[in-house]
């Protein structure tokens, strides 16, 4: 792994590297309503703006838009879901679901909190 990547603990490795899933309603960003940017835990790439976050009631942070093309979609092997990964490092973020109607964009990036870091906006 390149030296510029952040060191991950075992739980983070299980989700980010081994495509695991954090249990619903256990992540620290599920209820976060602060303004800022969510970045990749492994490489610090900006992934989601806080104004794209919404409460889907599913137990994971949900976003209806990503920053630029920093999130890549990859169909799961079984064809049932679409995995989302960081475009820079390939770290597993979660899955994307389309057409559910939660927002006007009809897109829900369902993300594991453990795959993210949050940088609060600073207006100093």
Range of the domain at 93: 10-120
Q: Is residue 97 part of a domain?
A: yes
Task: Give the phi and the psi of residue 29 in degrees, each rounded to 5.
Answer: -105, 5
Q: Is residue 5 part of a domain?
A: no
Q: Is residue 3 part of a domain?
A: no
Q: Is residue 19 part of a domain?
A: yes
Catalytic residue among 43, 86, 89, 110: 110
Please tell me the total count of domains within the chain.
Answer: 1
Q: Is residue 2 part of a domain?
A: no
pLDDT (tens digit, 9 = 90+) per residue, 36-75? Answer: 999 999 999 999 999 999 999 999 999 999 999 999 999 9
Q: Is residue 56 part of a domain?
A: yes
CATH of the domain at 16: 2.170.150.20
DSSP secondary structure string for all residues of the chain:
--TTSPP--HHHHHHHTT---PPTT-STTTT---SEEEEETTT--EEEEGGGEE--SSSS-EES--STT-EEEEE-TTSS-EEEEETTT--EEEEEEES--SSTT-EEEEE-GGGEEEEE----
Q: Is residue 27 part of a domain?
A: yes
- Residue 3's pLDDT is what? 63
Q: Is residue 4 part of a domain?
A: no
110 is catalytic: yes
123 pLDDT band, cuts 50/70/90, is low
Residue 2 reports pLDDT greater than 80: no
Q: Is the pTM of this model over 0.95?
A: no
What is the β-pairing status of strands 53-54 and 92-98? unpaired
């Amino acid at each position: 792994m390149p030296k510029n990547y952040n060191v991950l603990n075992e739980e983070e490795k299980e989700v980010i590297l081994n495509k695991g899933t954090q249990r619903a309603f256990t992540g620290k960003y599920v209820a976060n309503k602060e303004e800022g940017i969510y970045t990749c835990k492994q490489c610090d790439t900006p992934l989601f703006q806080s104004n794209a976050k919404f409460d889907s009631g599913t137990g994971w942070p949900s976003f209806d838009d990503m920053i630029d093309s920093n999130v890549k979609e990859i169909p799961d092997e079984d064809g049932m879901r679409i995995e989302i990964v960081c475009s820079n490092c390939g770290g597993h973020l979660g899955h994307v679901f389309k057409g559910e109607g939660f927002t006007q964009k009809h897109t829900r990036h369902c993300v594991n909190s453990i795959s993210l870091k949050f940088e609060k906006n600073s207006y100093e």
